[in-house]
Structure 1
Amino acid sequence: MSSAAPIPTVDDIAAATTDLLRGWVVRTVPADAARWLDTEIDRQRNTVDERRLGTALGLVGRRLGGTGLSLSPDDVAAAQVLHRRWQPHIWGTDVAGRVALLLATWRGDEEAFAAHVDRLCATGELTEHAACLKGFAVFPVPVRLLSRARAAIRSSVQPLFEAIACHNPYPADRFDEAVYNQMVIKCVFSGVPIGTIVGVDERRNDELVRMMRDLASERRIAGRLLPDAVHEFIETHHPGRASISVPSTEK
């Protein structure tokens, strides 16, 4: 009788995710761009170089462009083995490259990795910041990223808000009910399709539906209707049904 397969560690998952991203980008971009990314990832895996990391993250757009990854169903399935509900098929080569570079700095030191992420969010230009937020879908130590994720939800910069709110499993997995509800209402208010919010059906709760009904009523009085998908969400709610529980995010 064979023994059970070993449970992958955080280190294993970070390495495998980096390799997936690198492979997808390398097969999409020209050979010289692929060599550049390989070199930069290997450099960070060998010895974390903060100065070089910052330079590489800034060069990604010029070196890799923003071409879609064109993933196959097998690619997406492999991604979701590592990270449930990850949606890399909407990422471009620039996002994948930046996330891979950041993951290559992972050494099992939660504080150091969170500091890299926080620094990029604080000092990176808009596309770098947005790519970093999209990376919350796959980054280790998700609890340490909560303050940045919440800041993105409060942001008035739409690309930053959408980077965390849309096609990203992080909020569904990590936000408490109040913060998740706030995010969903802001999506509806700002015209973001509700279907882009990961886990919105399983995180449905009485308070969220009440808030949506209030918003729908306000819009109706103003002569502005909400999308059909929002009304369907409201109408299919069963009061009192328990929403999915989210683990404590305090640390």
Structure 2
Amino acid sequence: MTGLLTISDLEAVFLTGGPDHACEWLATAREKAARDKDELRTLFPAAARACGRAPLPDGWRTDDAARVLLLASFPWPDLDLLLSLYTDGDADEKRAVLLALDHTGIDLDDRALPIVEDALRTNDTRLIAAALGRYAARHLSPPAYRHAVLKCVFCGIPLAAVSGLDERADAELARMLSDFAAERVAAGRAVPDEVWPILARFPVPWSL
């Protein structure tokens, strides 16, 4: 459920769940970034060392929260720096950029789709889940969205992590999930419980 938190929610859990020095670091980092956006290239990777990786509610950690709050507070003049933070970052930094797509405060239209698509090509379940926030639900094409949902089922990622599923599930997705379920049953393997509600919404002749 990481992508469903609002910035106000995230700020509250960070201020109450993070150590005092983490809150002080974030305030200073925001000031530095406001003066010079290129400071983000140093501040963004430094968040883990400065704030730690302590768990917060809804699957967040203090380093996730610090990075997203830092990006969300910044008045972005363009997208280039945001995308470079993803491209040049490690897995945790990439995840934070993906989580921040819902919170940047600017109209990204479909310009950030390349990094969402990059994350969906990986086998890193944390990146895949982070990529499927509200931004992806709005901008992924129907085929790309369906394949992302199917990949979540294959990888054991809870579908609760996928934004927009109630609105974007359709008969074609049900067909794909029905084929998946049939293969699992034929192999004597369990079908994830989350598949059945979608099949029930869109009955197809070959569903189980």
Partner residue, 1:156:
123
Are 1:66 and 1:92, in contact at CA under 8 Å, matched by a contact in 2? yes
CA–CA distance in structure 1, aligned partners of residues 176 and 69 of structure 2: 38
CA–CA distance in structure 1, aligned partners of residues 85 and 69 of structure 2: 14
Are 1:41 and 1:101, in contact at CA under 8 Å, matched by a contact in 2? yes
From 26, 31, 34, the equivalent of 2:23 is: 34
CA–CA distance in structure 2, aligned partners of residues 23 and 218 of structure 1: 45
SS of the residue corresponding to residue 124 of structure 1 reads coil
Partner residue, 1:180:
145
CA–CA distance in structure 2, aligned partners of residues 101 and 153 of structure 1: 24
Partner residue, 1:94:
63
Match of 1:148, as an amino acid? I
Are 1:133 and 1:149, in contact at CA under 8 Å, matched by a contact in 2? yes
Pairing 1:57-96 to 2, within 5 Å after superposition = 57-70=44-57, 89-96=58-65
Match of 1:60, as an amino acid? A
Give the Å deviation of 1:238.
5.5
Question: Which one is further off, 53-62 or 181-190?
Answer: 53-62
Give the Å deviation of 1:28.
2.9
Structure 1 gap segments, 5+ residues each: 1-15, 71-88, 240-251
Pairing 1:125-136 to 2, within 5 Å after superposition = 125-136=90-101
Pairing 1:212-251 to 2, within 5 Å after superposition = 212-237=177-202
- Does 2:85 correspond to 1:120? yes
Match of 2:69, as an amino acid? A
Match of 2:108, as an amino acid? P
1:170 and 1:223, CA in 2 relative to 1: closer, same or farther beyond 3 A? same
Are 1:121 and 1:128, in contact at CA under 8 Å, matched by a contact in 2? yes
Report the RMSD for the aligned CA atoms in angstroms.
Answer: 2.2
Give the Å deviation of 1:210.
0.7
Match of 1:54, as an amino acid? R
Structure 2 gap segments, 5+ residues each: 1-5
Q: How does the TM-score come out when normalised to structure 2?
A: 0.84
Deviations 1:136-168 (A, max 9, x none): 121223322111112211223332222213xx2
- Does 2:93 correspond to 1:105? no
CA–CA distance in structure 1, aligned partners of residues 32 and 101 of structure 2: 22
Give the Å deviation of 1:67.
2.8
CA–CA distance in structure 2, aligned partners of residues 49 and 235 of structure 1: 49
SS of the residue corresponding to residue 167 of structure 2 reads coil
CA–CA distance in structure 2, aligned partners of residues 69 and 191 of structure 1: 22
Are 1:184 and 1:194, in contact at CA under 8 Å, matched by a contact in 2? yes
CA–CA distance in structure 2, aligned partners of residues 32 and 228 of structure 1: 43
1:222 and 1:103, CA in 2 relative to 1: closer, same or farther beyond 3 A? same
Question: Which one is further off, 28-37 or 182-191?
Answer: 28-37
SS of the residue corresponding to residue 143 of structure 2 reads helix
Give the Å deviation of 1:92.
2.2
Deviations 1:183-223 (A, max 9, x none): 00111111112232222122111111111111111112222
Partner residue, 2:103:
138
SS of the residue corresponding to residue 145 of structure 2 reads helix
Question: Which runs of at least 4 in structure 1 moved beyond 4 Å after TM superposition?
Answer: 19-24
Q: How does the TM-score come out when normalised to structure 1?
A: 0.70
